[in-house]
Amino acid sequence: MSKKKTGKIGVLLVNLGTPDTPSTPDVRKYLREFLLDPRVIDMNPVGRYALVNGVIAPFRAPKSAKVYKQLWTERGSPLLYHGLDLQKKLQEALGSGYHVAFGMRYQSPSIASALEELREKSVERIIVLPLFPQYAAASTGSVQDKVMEIVREWWVIPSINFISSFCDDPGFINAFAELGKQHMAQDDYDHVIFSYHGLPERQVLKGSDKGYCQLGACCNSYNKRNKYCYRASCFVTSRMLAQKLGLREDQYTVTFQSRLLKDPWLQPYTDEVLKTLPGKGIKKVLAYSPAFVADCLETTIEVGEEFKEMFEHAGGEKWQLVESLNSNPMWVEAVKNMVLEN
């Protein structure tokens, strides 16, 4: 006989974060909080502080503010309102036995405010879903770290379950594949690019299971030894999407974008790969950004506009971004099923 449920189940959705406004001071504030996270820039604390406050935030904030102004809408930051839309629709899908809260790892609404919302509802347990399909210590790991830092101050701590990765979740894959199929039905594409947010190679190697990861063919299979390897996770997402899209291996390429500083990051780099494609006769490209489940600066601006301009300048004819999942009904259903399974 199953135990009678005595209270609601809390669901905490978390995404990365966004400035409160696209003004330079707010962007600088966001960059400082984000980049001072030791899981994001994993270096000596003194060096990190000097680098972020003395170099990156002062010089990058004005440039980033201009880009955020291009991205901003009447509803504000897309990353924020897509998250709030997902929260609302997931709440409706799960029903009254659940309470869904939404927070950002950096800035507002904070993880602390979202957790307090769940505590006020007296939830009997909490399911935490960081909205990053592929596990990385700098994203999912940072969210988990922050949640534990906050709840350890609570006198009563309910059961907490983290969904650490959903890179191979069937619902996630199917929802993203359907968006791609809609574009493929409208035009014939020569190639598909799966462009993921990059990571320093050292961060991937630091998380390796007893040296298993070699940044090579080890990522061609996804198993218990590398289930938390970001590179292997990106590869399995790409393989599963390619299969759903009916692509052969030679019809798609996995690349990495958004690198920072001079250390070696995961390769190949998207901006370098796309410039070589027109010379190979690849003139029409469908571009995915499957590390993101909500449209943001990295999808809309970087992949959708900057890479498009680079591709066309190199001789390409068409570069089409596949929009992110946002609050697509198939994605809402996929998240609902992940919650129910956990």
pLDDT of residue 227: 95
pLDDT of residue 6: 55
Q: Which residues pair with 265 in a beta bridge?
A: 200
pLDDT of residue 7: 81
Say how far apart CA 197 and CA 269 lie, in whole Å: 10
CA dihedral 212, 215, 220, 224 (to 10 degrees): 30
81, with CB counted inside 10 A (0-12, 13-18, 19+), is middle
pLDDT of residue 2: 42
- Measured in Å, how far apart are the chain's first and last C-alpha atoms? 19
Q: How many C-beta atoms lie closer than 10 Å to residue 254's C-beta?
A: 23
pLDDT of residue 4: 46
pLDDT of residue 259: 86
Q: Which two tokens stand for residue 314?
A: 């190199």
Q: What is the mean pLDDT of each run of 10 residues along the chain (342 residues)?
A: 64 98 97 97 95 94 96 96 98 97 98 97 96 97 98 96 98 98 97 97 91 91 95 98 97 94 92 97 98 97 97 98 98 98 92
- The phi-psi region of residue 17 (left if phi > 0; otherwise alpha if psi is between -120 and 50; otherwise beta) is left
pLDDT of residue 159: 96
Residues with Cβ within 8 Å of residue 25, at least 6 apart in sequence: 61
pLDDT of residue 53: 95
Give the angle subtended at the CA of 105 by the CAs of 235 and 87, to the nearest 5°: 85
Residues with Cβ within 8 Å of residue 261, at least 6 apart in sequence: 200
Q: Which residues pair with 287 in a beta bridge?
A: 193, 321
pLDDT of residue 274: 97
Cβ atoms 12, 101 nearer than 8 A: yes
